[in-house]
Chains A and B, each alone.
Chain A
Amino acid sequence: MKKIKCALIGSGNIGTDLLYKLQRSDILEPVWMVGIDENSEGLARAKELGLKTTAEGIDGLIPHIESDDIKIAFDATSAYVHAANSAKVNAKGVLMIDLTPAAIGPYCVPPVNLSQLDSAGLNVNMVTCGGQATIPMVAAVSRVQAVEYGEIVATVSSKSVGPGTRQNIDEFTRTTSGAVEQIGGAKKGKAIIIINPAEPPLLMRDTIHCLTEEDPDQAAITESVHQMIAEVQQYVPGYTLKNGPVFDGRKVSIFLEVKGLGDYLPTYAGNLDIMTAAAARTAEMFAQQILDGTATNNQQVGVN
């Protein structure tokens, strides 16, 4: 079967984990891994796995885009450089899937809004790991009844948080709270991230609090939450409800644990998994559109 060729920009934790997932895809083929440090572990691993690599950053990739028929790029670098990276690949007609919190394109949380997205702007943003883990739950409540306020607390193990996220922590909270509103459907959103250094590392934990405008319909919300969890489990099997939904007046609280597949970092790094799995799922949908000739950006499969 024909596969759509992809480039990964950023050879850190997220880029490497994503590489493993793309290698399992039926319709995506990772071809390039882009880094900035010749001696990085991530580039060496990508090379071992048969990818072409460059340590020259995005400019090392651009001359090869047409000749290698790259249609989709993933940016797993940092919010600070994302806009520049995106402009360069977009100029070549390549669709950018943004795994940084830069959020210059529309937010994408697959079980909530994947089917409504189009690739016309050549850039979609995967929000943040905390957003991917929690926004489906906010949406599960808001599709039952109006949510006045949605708040999420994402707790991740210290070992699973790379330097990009650490330098970008404000962008994490801003982007996540923005998407809690826009995609989750809360009128006002807030996001909190906690980094815990315990050994052995803790599994990603996420707590979602919603304030509904009227008294919550407990049965309908509980059913909606369970349905949404099943949806997320299709691509992140370790997405588990620990406690709740708990109802306290108009407050609805949901307590989750996210166990990863252990592709690159061990299973505690569910935050990595949910991000990369969501990005891969999003790219697969667009790849299918390219293969079917229905892509809205007029991307076409090159003639080989």
Chain B
Amino acid sequence: MNLQDKKVILHDMSLRDGMHAKQHQISIDQMVAVATGLDQAGIPLIEVTHGDGLGGSSLNYGFPAHTDEAYLSAVVPKMTNAKVSALLIPGIGTVDHLKMAYDHGVSTIRVATHCTEADVSEQHISAARKMGLDTVGFLMMGHMISPEELLAQAKLMESYGANCIYCTDSAGYMLPDDVTQRIGLLRSELANDTEIGFHGHHNLGMSIANSLAAIEAGAKRIDGSVAGLGAGAGNTPLEVFTAVLDRMGADHGIDLYKIMDVAEDLVVPMMDQPIRVDRNSLTLGYAGVYSSFLLFAERAEKKYGVPARDILLELGRMKTVGGQEDMIDDTAMTMAKALQATQA
């Protein structure tokens, strides 16, 4: 693989996807410290807010320690070079949230839908574009459909005004060939000035390999997370990925020692549990289940006595999609009833 001098834009997820792993409890001070460290390390784009994006604050996904407004207004003014992005999932957040994020100085809006449902994003993508924001269409759970179907959805988002399209491996299920096929087709069929991005999870240990495959196939933006702080077994660990890109001679613009230090000194001490491939996060990747279901399934195991792994497998069989966190308790209760019935 030759990535010599390839321009790569790294986008940090630790303060948004990492909120899943922290049950949305990152403090304002921690957010500002990590974002400032990333800015100084040269990370160009940093995502901030609730794990489920703007408006994600809820009983279903968890109430955050602070509002999206509070996080954005604390972080944005502290940035010297880095820009701040926000995620918006239609059905959870609305254009009102988008305007709020714009007013707080966000430069990039990423409008996320399940990979087959791009047509719910028209309101939000066109509004973001009208505000002059860098506007990304973010197709989640991209492993669930073929590259051709993914392309059709990407073209919808492009037609609404998205200037960048992401193939998102929300379940950490993809293998490098899956990434190559999807990113390759998007790159060859979307407009030349539409950028392509890839968002990985490490549930099968493939996030670095998948991200490299994405760059080789034409992706310019790569999501990752310093120290891997993210849902499931975490996102592509950015300090590791930076070192790999460095070895390959890619043009990433990051200070390796500085990002290593942010990982080690700031982010690892924040973790409530090790972010690693264990039997439950591995099951996410193996069964193709949305990564943020992990901690919910672990809590349901404690509450209802059904192993988290079994709950996650069942959620995979049911073809649940991102946002269906309510089905975790429901499924655990139904499984517990069935277990009791067979034991009776």
The residues of A with any CB-CB pair to B shorter than 8 Å are 149, 151, 153, 155, 158, 163, 166-167, 169-170, 172-174, 190, 192-198, 202, 205, 207, 209, 211, 242-244, 246, 251, 253, 255
Contacts and interface: CB of A to CB of B under 8 A. Distances in A.
18 contacts: A151-B58, A153-B60, A155-B326, A158-B117, A163-B119, A166-B122, A167-B119, A169-B90, A173-B94, A192-B323, A195-B321, A196-B321, A198-B318, A207-B60, A242-B330, A243-B329, A243-B333, A255-B330
B58 A167 contact: no
Contact of B58 (A190, A196, A244): A190
Interface string B78-115: 00000000000011101110000000000000000010
Closest 5 CB pairs between A and B?
A198-B319, A207-B326, A209-B59, A170-B94, A197-B116
B99 to A, nearest CB: 11
B4 interface: no
A173 B91 contact: yes
A135 B324 CA distance: 19
B333 A251 contact: no
A183 B333 CA distance: 29
B91 A246 contact: no
Nearest to A168: B123
Given A170-B96, A174-B94, A246-B333, 8 more contacts: A153-B326, A194-B323, A195-B117, A196-B114, A196-B321, A198-B319, A209-B60, A255-B330
A192 B60 contact: yes
Contacts of A173: 91-92, 94
- Determine which residue in B59, B318, B320 has the highest number of CB atoms from chain A within 10 A of its CB, and name it: B59
A189 to B, nearest CB: 11
B159 interface: no
Contact of B92 (A149, A192, A197, A244): A192
Contacts, number: 89
Nearest to B320: A196
Nearest to A257: B330
Contact of B91 (A194, A243, A253, A255): A194
Contacts of A190: 58
A205 B328 CA distance: 13
Interface residues of B, number: 29
Contacts of A172: 91
Contacts of A243: 329-330, 333-334
Contacts of A149: 59
A172 B91 CA distance: 8
B185 interface: no
A169 to B, nearest CB: 5
Contacts of A251: 59
A125 to B, nearest CB: 18
Nearest to A248: B303
B90 A197 contact: no
Interface in B320-343: 320-321, 323-324, 326-327, 329-330, 333-334
Given A194-B323, A195-B114, A207 B123 contact: no
Contacts of B175: none
Contacts of B334: 242-243
A167 B58 CA distance: 24
Contacts of A197: 114, 116-117, 321
A170 B334 CA distance: 32
Interface string B305-329: 0000000000000111101101101
Contacts of B209: none
Contacts of B59: 149, 151, 209, 211, 251, 253
A171 B92 CA distance: 12
Given A196-B319, A253-B329, A166 B58 contact: no
B120 interface: yes
A169 B91 contact: yes
Contacts of A192: 58, 60, 91-92, 323
B327 A205 contact: yes
Nearest to B331: A243
A195 to B, nearest CB: 5
Contacts of B319: 196, 198, 202
Contacts of A166: 117, 119-120, 122
A149 B326 CA distance: 17
A169 B93 CA distance: 10
Contacts of A158: 116-117
Nearest to B303: A248
A211 to B, nearest CB: 7
B176 to A, nearest CB: 26
Given A243-B333, A246-B329, A151 B119 contact: no
